[in-house]
Amino acid sequence: EVQLVESGGSLVKPGGSLRLSCAASGFAFSRYSMNWVRQVPGKGLEWVSTLSSNSYYIYYADSVRGRFTISRDNAKNSVDLQMNNLSAEDTAVYYCARDHSLGVPGGFDVWGQGTTVTVSS
């Protein structure tokens, strides 16, 4: 079964750091670009970051650039999101998502269940 499982979400103070992880299984992880998408409860979806299969291409939303870092370990079938200098605006459910295209960005065909990040003092 193709599956993505996120972990690492928790309550963190403003200015703090957190590292999210996404474990992939059931597919050839190393062939796919991976993404993080977040959603404030009750609000819409916001793309956060994309990392190509070989880690050559990395993209960030303006709202997180310079504070968040995406990385992957193809040997462990995992993708991480290191989040620094967090603020209340980063409070959201964070989803890991696979890009269905093996080349140019094509869309998110597999999603994890999400992990909740709450930034509050």
Partner 1 sequence: QSVLTQPPSASGTPGQRVTISCSGSSSNIGANTVNWYQQLPGTAPKFLIYSNYLRPSGVPDRFSGSKSGTSASLAISGLQSEDEADYYCAAWDDSLNGWVFGGGTKLTVL
Contact set with partner 1 (CB under 8 A): 35, 37, 44-47, 50, 59-62, 95, 100, 104-114
Between residues 18 and 37, which has the closer beta carbon with respect to partner 1?
37
Q: Give the nearest distance from C-beta 105 to partner 1 in angstroms.
A: 5
35, 96 Cβ separation under 8 angstroms: yes
Reference 9, options 38, 33, 52, 48; nearest CA is: 38
Between residues 15 and 63, which has the closer beta carbon with respect to partner 1?
63
Q: Give the nearest distance from C-beta 67 to partner 1 in angstroms.
A: 15
Reference 96, options 85, 80, 112; nearest CA is: 112
Between residues 16 and 114, which has the closer beta carbon with respect to partner 1?
114
Distance (Å, whole) CA 90 – CA 79: 19
